[in-house]
């Protein structure tokens, strides 16, 4: 399989695009802070197509060369220097992030406009300053190859995301933001302790060099446990999920969409980098089954709690807890059972498709819920009757996104779960298949609770509290359609995901 070996240790042509992918949005944050006011929004909107073009160029180059892109900062190779690195998984996440940022930014313009007659307002300035900073931090996570620099990127992401939760200034959202910050800081301390232990033991934090030097010894296991626990707290995996529902449900709709679709994926991405790339020899019992068990518990627990919610945004937030659980099923299926390359690649591809399809579906769900709350003045599920006729594109968007969350064909969620189901059955780990099937039934239950009142008729025409522009509904529908189209994309995307993936043959049980 092309590009499936350990990442190459030489800079490649066009590697400077990796720097540009980080510095372009980071520069927009600095310019927004410098000029302020309405200029911050204009700078971000002007940057959107350029940021997408850079991400797409990286993906095309990796696909054509069938090799990862590598860039040495300052021309110094690791371990003395720091390398940026993009494989197929990085490329997919870069392009997905760029598309989501473009859609969410267009959706957010109505919510975060500077009022007429004012040169500057707090909420719009904070949002349009933090949005590109968050984008740059996400790209730094997807492109990092040094565990300490990945820690720095993750911290930048946290400090850009936390203020978005409490942007409206209400006491309950401030409390949710503070709880999020405390969980994130606890996770950061544990991750940093683990990196210090690895550096003291092996003398490097560069991922390929660590993979060569890693030994099955106590120091490595302690470091892995510390770093993984810290990342799980940031990713809100059960039982470390307590901060997520109030934070995501209380934030403004564009912020909720960003947090649920992208921000929680960054720590999961680092868990993948840590176990599959830096510590492949340790990914066996008990690590892989334990991560899978936590994922299964998240699927069942999050789905059950979503069924009991009275508010739409809280239901979607608990759905995020459940959907994150599916991601962690790839660890026992792709790396912890001694399976051959083909089956491991199926589980790997399924996990990657789940990351992307969930991102688009959840962005559509939260933006759609925001429009419903804007139109009605509330998001109580029992009082949503008739909104389907008043907001048809939003309703269709929620329905399409629901298809992907349930894993029904032809959506991207279906393709993700199909790959994971195949891997679980053929490797005789049928219990993971039962978890996925149960999660699908539970997802159907809580999505039915939403769609049934939306599509119900009312005796009298529904009077909206506030009109909703059609172009904002179109963004919701477009994001949802993207989550469905992922299920019918050509095989080129699956081939791209294999470029630079770890050699799974080395992950067999000893």
Residue 435 inside a domain? The answer is yes
Does residue 403 surpass a pLDDT of 60? yes
The tokens for 441 are: 């039934």
Residue 97 inside a domain? The answer is yes
Answer with the one of 230, 253, 280 that is the final residue of a domain.
280
pLDDT for 505: 37
Residue 218 inside a domain? The answer is yes
- 379 — pLDDT class (breaks 50, 70, 90): confident
Answer with the one of 236, 255, 280 that is the final residue of a domain.
280
Q: How many structural domains comprise the chain? A: 3
Supply the range of the domain harboring residue 474: 283-510
What are φ and ψ of residue 239, in 5° steps? -95, 20
- Examine residue 187 and say whether the peptide bond preceding it is cis (omega within 30 degrees of 0): no
Q: Are residues 177 and 201 in the same domain?
A: yes
d(CA 369, CA 387): 11
Q: Are residues 123 and 255 in the same domain?
A: no
Query: 509 versus 351: which is more confidently predicted?
Result: 351
pLDDT for 340: 41
- 464 — pLDDT class (breaks 50, 70, 90): confident
Q: Are residues 468 and 377 in the same domain?
A: yes
Mean pLDDT of 109-131: 83
pLDDT for 336: 52
Q: Are residues 364 and 456 in the same domain?
A: yes
Q: Are residues 345 and 470 in the same domain?
A: yes
Does residue 381 surpass a pLDDT of 80? yes
d(CA 59, CA 57): 5
The percent of residues above 70 in pLDDT, for the chain, comes to: 93
Q: Are residues 242 and 350 in the same domain?
A: no
- 335 — pLDDT class (breaks 50, 70, 90): low
Q: Are residues 134 and 227 in the same domain?
A: no
Residue 396 inside a domain? The answer is yes
Q: Are residues 259 and 359 in the same domain?
A: no
d(CA 190, CA 485): 39
Could you tell me if residue 203 is left (phi over 0), alpha (psi between -120 and 50 degrees) or otherwise beta?
A: left
Residue 152 inside a domain? The answer is no
pLDDT for 339: 41
pLDDT for 468: 83
Does residue 338 surpass a pLDDT of 60? no
Mean pLDDT of 277-290: 82
Q: Beta strands of 190-333 (E only): which ranges?
A: none
Mean pLDDT score across all residues of the chain: 87
d(CA 473, CA 213): 52
pLDDT for 390: 84
Mean pLDDT of 479-501: 81
Residue 132 inside a domain? The answer is yes
Q: Are residues 403 and 452 in the same domain?
A: yes
Answer with the one of 280, 299, 331 that is the final residue of a domain.
280
Q: Are residues 371 and 489 in the same domain?
A: yes
Mean pLDDT of 445-452: 90
Residue 75 inside a domain? The answer is yes
Residue 160 inside a domain? The answer is no
Q: Are residues 4 and 24 in the same domain?
A: yes
Among 58-62, 259-263, 486-490, whose mean pLDDT is lowest?
486-490
Q: Are residues 176 and 307 in the same domain?
A: no
Does residue 145 surpass a pLDDT of 60? yes
Answer yes or no: are the C-beta atoms of 19 and 71 closer than 8 Å: yes
Q: What is the DSSP string of 273-293?
A: IIIIII-GGG-STTHHHHHHH
Q: Beta strands of 23-175 (E only): which ranges?
A: 69-72, 83-86
């Amino acid at each position: 399989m092309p590009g499936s070996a350990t990442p190459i240790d030489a800079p490649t042509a066009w590697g400077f695009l990796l720097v540009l992918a980080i510095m372009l949005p980071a520069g927009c944050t600095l310019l927004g802070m410098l000029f302020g006011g309405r200029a911050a929004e204009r700078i971000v909107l002007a940057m959107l197509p350029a940021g997408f073009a850079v991400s797409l160029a990286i993906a095309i180059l990796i696909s054509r060369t069938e090799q990862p892109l590598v860039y040495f900062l300052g021309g110094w190779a690791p371990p003395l220097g720091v390398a940026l690195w993009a494989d197929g998984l990085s490329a997919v996440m870069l392009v997905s992030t760029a598309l989501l940022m473009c859609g969410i930014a267009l959706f957010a313009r109505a919510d975060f406009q500077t009022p007429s007659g004012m040169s500057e307002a707090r909420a719009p300035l904070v949002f349009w300053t933090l949005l590109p900073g968050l984008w740059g931090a996400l790209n730094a996570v997807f492109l990092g190859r040094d565990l300490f620099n990945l820690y720095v990127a993750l911290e930048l992401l946290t400090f850009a995301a936390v203020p978005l939760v409490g942007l409206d200034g209400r006491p309950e959202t401030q409390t949710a933001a503070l709880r999020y910050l405390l969980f994130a800081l606890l996770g950061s301390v544990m991750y940093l302790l683990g990196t210090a232990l690895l550096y003291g033991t092996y003398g490097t934090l560069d991922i390929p060099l660590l993979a060569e030097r890693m030994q099955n010894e106590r120091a490595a296991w302690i470091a892995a446990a510390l770093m993984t626990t810290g990342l799980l707290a940031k990713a809100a995996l059960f039982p470390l999920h307590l901060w997520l529902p109030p934070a995501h449900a209380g934030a403004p709709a564009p912020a909720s969409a960003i947090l649920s679709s992208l921000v929680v994926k960054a720590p999961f991405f680092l868990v993948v980098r840590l176990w599959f790339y830096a510590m492949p020899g340790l990914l066996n019992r008990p690590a892989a089954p334990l991560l899978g068990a936590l994922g299964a518990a998240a699927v069942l627990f999050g789905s059950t709690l979503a069924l009991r919610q009275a508010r739409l945004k809280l239901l979607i937030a608990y759905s995020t807890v459940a959907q994150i659980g599916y991601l962690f099923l790839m660890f026992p299926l792709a790396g912890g059972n001694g399976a051959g390359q083909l089956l491991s690649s199926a589980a790997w591809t399924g996990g990657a498709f789940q990351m992307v399809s969930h991102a688009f579906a959840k962005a559509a769900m939260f933006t759609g819920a925001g429009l419903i709350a804007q139109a009605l003045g509330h998001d109580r599920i029992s009082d949503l009757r008739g909104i389907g006729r008043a907001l048809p594109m939003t309703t269709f968007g929620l329905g399409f996104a629901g298809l992907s969350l349930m894993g029904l064909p032809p959506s991207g969620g279906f393709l993700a779960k199909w790959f994971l189901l195949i891997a679980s059955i053929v490797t005789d780990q049928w219990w993971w298949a039962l978890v996925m099937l149960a999660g699908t039934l539970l997802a159907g239950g809580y999505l039915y609770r939403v769609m049934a009142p939306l599509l119900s008729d009312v005796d009298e025409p529904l009077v909206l509290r506030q009109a909703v522009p059609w172009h904002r509904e179109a963004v919701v529908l477009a994001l949802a359609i993207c989550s469905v189209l992922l299920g019918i994309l050509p095989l080129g995307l699956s081939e791209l995901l294999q470029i630079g993936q770890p050699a799974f043959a080395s992950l067999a049980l000893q």
